[in-house]
């Protein structure tokens, strides 16, 4: 066996290859230099291939490159072997090397045969150039489109900004006259002895002004939502009182329509929560008001239930609360359910659509989405609807109990020394509202038309409280508040910032510079008086003779046999208006009935008295007895 392995390396009997060249020096060196140069060139090619593969691992033919490299090395070694056999006749080794080279070359050829279709699919330089041109064109086009998109986005942002500023400015301009309208309506209601007709007229003015204010606020809220500027401002508040205030508003409407209003509260509800009280109230009142509007018999049920709770990193509990409103009203179809959350979309009869703007549910849905929930609806046409949403609220143990003022009558004064109030506003009508609200109940009111004048008046009169507008000439409200707080004499004086501005940043900025509270315009008399009570620690004096609506005379029912009533069609229309709770149209129709025939005056008076006192149940009974 050892002899067999040694056999290929035996050179006995062979002559060196140099004898073939007759050992001619020139010829021998020619072969040596040629073979060595070829071998060196062959060896350099694999090293270059290995370097290329290491740098371009994405190339799909790495295996073939390796085979080709092995083939080249074998060829280079064969040329070195030719130099060796010039002096050493190891022809068996040289033959074996050529056999290995042959095997590698055959394997490489087969590999190339299978890879050739793939290689042919590779694009040619001309194709690559064409592709590059197309890509270059697409890149140029894409850059052009991106530039146009950026310009369009800038235009959209500028348009949105312009729209927001326009709406804000228009809001300010609309709120200023509304402040005068609503303000003087409240003044007249509080201070003047009015006839029944005058009192009703003022009530209509106040209702129309309040409705217009609601429309302005709805449009502004929608604008903020579209511009993604609507934000939540959570505070700590007392949940039972909050729910009580929301349900009390809706209970009145339920009593007017003579439908049951049920409240189901989970005993596990937290006492205090951290949430945006204003926005949560807005959502709940909207859902309840819609339920009341479309329910004519049966009931409306409000539910609040804890469906989950977990501890947060601050050691407080996060409650997941489900608010639900169930009614037995008209219900909605599946097609209507798909679009009721879109702006300006309304369902129901045309008459009931005119009662709103179609923005309530759209705004409420956006608010709930900001809270991390979503309003959902389940309804069956003709049987009723269920609206609900779920949201997480963190527990608050530091909520402040808000004092609740019980209505005791008309305020005619206050106990203690006479107080001085400084009002700074560049609009005389705004100053006039506050002057006429406060002077009749014992306040001394000093007026200033700008911030500089207010500063001078403050030094001269040393007021007990200052109410200042924010936008004024010469010296605006922010600078005035800052100057007052810098002065030692006014560091502790209560300062209330008042403005028709809808920008929350203005409200926060006024508080940051030193204001104690913010009073939005149009000014609500109750809010102003409550701020005065809190900041000046006042105790109000109420009129013992509280203004009240005249009681219905029961004699009217004893005169049924003598009363002449209108046609059955008119009575049916009155009944429908009564069932809808439409007091205003009932009063207008009563006037038309009275004007059409003097014999119907008694019926019209009875109708007016019941409607004016919002006694809708008795009103329906009164009308039905004549229909039947």
Q: Tell me the C-alpha distance between 77 and 84, whole Å.
A: 10
Give me the DSSP letters along 100-134: HHHHHHHHHHHHHHHHHHHHHHSPPHHHHHHHHHH
pLDDT of residue 305: 92
pLDDT over 70 (residue 176): no
More confident residue, 520 or 301: 301
Separation of alpha carbons 97 and 101, rounded Å: 6
How far apart CA 202 and CA 214 sit, in angstroms, is 18
* pLDDT (0 to 100) of residue 595: 78
Amino acid 547: pLDDT = 42
**Percent share of the chain, pLDDT over 70:** 78
Average pLDDT for the chain: 77
Do residues 279 and 317 lie in contact, with contact meaning Cβ atoms separated by under 8 Å?
no
Q: How confident is the model at residue 304 (pLDDT cuts 50, 70, 90)?
A: very high
Per-residue pLDDT at 226 exceeds 70: no
pLDDT for 423: 93
- Quote the pLDDT of residue 612: 65
227 vs 333: which has the higher pLDDT = 333
Has residue 189 got a pLDDT over 50?
yes
Region 276-293: mean pLDDT is 86
pLDDT at 177: 74
What's the pLDDT at 550?
36
- Note the pLDDT of residue 401: 38
pLDDT per residue as tens digits for the range 26-44:
888 888 888 888 888 878 7
pTM: 0.44
Count of positions (residues) in the chain: 628
Token pair 């312009």: residue: 162
| pLDDT value at residue 1 | 42
Distance CA 167, CA 278 (A): 21
The predicted structure's pLDDT at residue 301:
92
> Could you please report the per-residue DSSP string of 33-77?
HHHHHHHHHHHHHHHHHHHHHHH-TT-TTHHHHHHHHHHHHHHHH
CB atoms within 10 A of CB 471: 15
Q: Which residues pair with 519 in a beta bridge?
A: 498
Neighbours of 263 (CB within 10 A): 15
CA distance 391 to 368: 8
CA distance 18 to 458: 124
- In order of 95, 233, 234, 399, the CA distances from 312 in angstroms are 83, 20, 17, 18
Instruction: State residue 351's pLDDT score.
Output: 45
- Joined together, the tokens standing for residue 284 give 């709940």
pLDDT above 60 (res 613): no
Output the pLDDT for position 170.
Answer: 66
The predicted model gives 3-24 an average pLDDT of: 66
Nearest partner of 306 among 397, 396, 398, 393, judged by Cα? 393
Six-digit token string for 596: 């059409």
The residue behind tokens 């229909």 is 627
Given a cut of 70, is residue 584 above it in pLDDT?
yes
- Residue 504 is predicted with a pLDDT of 63
pLDDT of residue 424: 92
């Amino acid at each position: 066996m050892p002899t067999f392995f040694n056999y290929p390396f035996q050179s006995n009997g062979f002559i060196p290859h140099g004898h073939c060249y007759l050992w001619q020096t020139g010829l021998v060196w020619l072969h040596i230099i040629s073979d060595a140069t070829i071998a060196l060139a062959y060896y350099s090619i694999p090293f270059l291939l290995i370097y290329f593969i290491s740098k371009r691992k994405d190339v799909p033919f790495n295996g073939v490159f390796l085979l080709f490299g092995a083939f080249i090395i074998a060829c280079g070694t064969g040329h070195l072997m030719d130099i060796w056999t010039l002096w050493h006749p190891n022809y068996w080794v040289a033959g074996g090397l050529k056999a290995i080279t042959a095997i590698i070359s055959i394997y490489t050829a087969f590999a190339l045969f299978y890879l050739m279709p793939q290689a042919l699919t590779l694009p040619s330089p001309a194709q690559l150039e064409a592709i590059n041109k197309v890509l270059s064109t697409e890149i140029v086009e894409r850059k052009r489109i991106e530039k146009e998109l950026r310009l369009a986005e800038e235009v959209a942002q500028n348009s949105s900004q312009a729209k927001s500023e326009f709406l804000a400015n228009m809001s300010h301009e609309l709120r200023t006259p509304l402040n005068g309208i609503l303000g003087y309506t409240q003044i007249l209601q509080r201070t003047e002895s009015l006839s029944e007709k005058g009192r009703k007229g003022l009530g209509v003015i106040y209702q129309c002004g309040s409705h217009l204010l609601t429309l302005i606020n709805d449009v502004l809220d929608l604008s903020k939502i579209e511009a993604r500027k609507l934000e939540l401002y959570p505070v700590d508040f007392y949940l039972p009182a909050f729910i009580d205030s929301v349900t009390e508003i809706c209970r009145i409407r339920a009593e007017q329509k003579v439908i049951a209003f049920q409240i189901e509260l989970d005993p596990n509800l937290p006492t205090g929560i951290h949430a945006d009280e204003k926005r949560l109230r807005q959502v709940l009142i909207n859902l309840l008001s819609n339920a009341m509007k479309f329910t004519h018999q049966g009931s409306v049920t409000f539910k609040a239930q804890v469906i989950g709770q977990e501890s947060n990193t601050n050691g407080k509990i996060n409650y997941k609360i489900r608010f639900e409103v169930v009614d037995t009203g008209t219900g909605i179809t599946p097609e209507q359910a798909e679009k009721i959350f879109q702006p300006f979309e309304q369902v129901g009869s045309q008459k009931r659509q005119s009662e709103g703007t179609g923005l309530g549910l759209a705004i409420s849905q956006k608010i709930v989405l900001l809270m991390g929930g979503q309003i959902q609806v389940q309804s069956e046409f003709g049987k009723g609807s269920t609206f609900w949403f779920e949201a997480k609220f963190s527990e608050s143990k530091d909520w402040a109990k808000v004092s609740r003022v019980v209505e005791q009558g008309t305020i005619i004064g206050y106990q203690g020394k006479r107080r001085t109030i400084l009002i700074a506003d560049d609009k005389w009508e705004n100053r006039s509202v506050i002057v006429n609200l406060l002077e009749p109940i014992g306040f001394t009111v000093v007026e200033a038309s700008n911030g500089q004048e207010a500063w001078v008046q403050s030094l001269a009169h040393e007021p007990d409280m200052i109410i200042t507008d924010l936008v004024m000439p010469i010296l605006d409200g922010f600078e005035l508040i800052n100057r007052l707080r810098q002065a030692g004499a006014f560091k502790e004086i209560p300062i209330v910032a008042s403005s028709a501005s809808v920008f929350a940043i203005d409200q926060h900025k006024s508080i940051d510079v030193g204001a104690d509270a913010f009073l939005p315009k149009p000014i609500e008399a109750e809010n102003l008086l409550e701020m005065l009570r809190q900041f000046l620690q006042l105790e109000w004096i109420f009129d013992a003779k509280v203004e009240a609506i005249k009681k219905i005379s029961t004699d009217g029912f004893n005169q049924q046999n003598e009363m002449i009533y209108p046609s059955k069609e008119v009575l049916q229309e009155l009944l429908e208006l009564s069932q809808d709770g439409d007091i205003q149209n009932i009063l207008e129709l009563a006037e038309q009935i009275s004007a059409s025939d003097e014999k119907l005056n008694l019926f019209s008076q009875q109708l007016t008295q019941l409607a004016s006192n919002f006694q809708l149940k008795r009103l329906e009974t009164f009308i039905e007895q004549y229909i039947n």
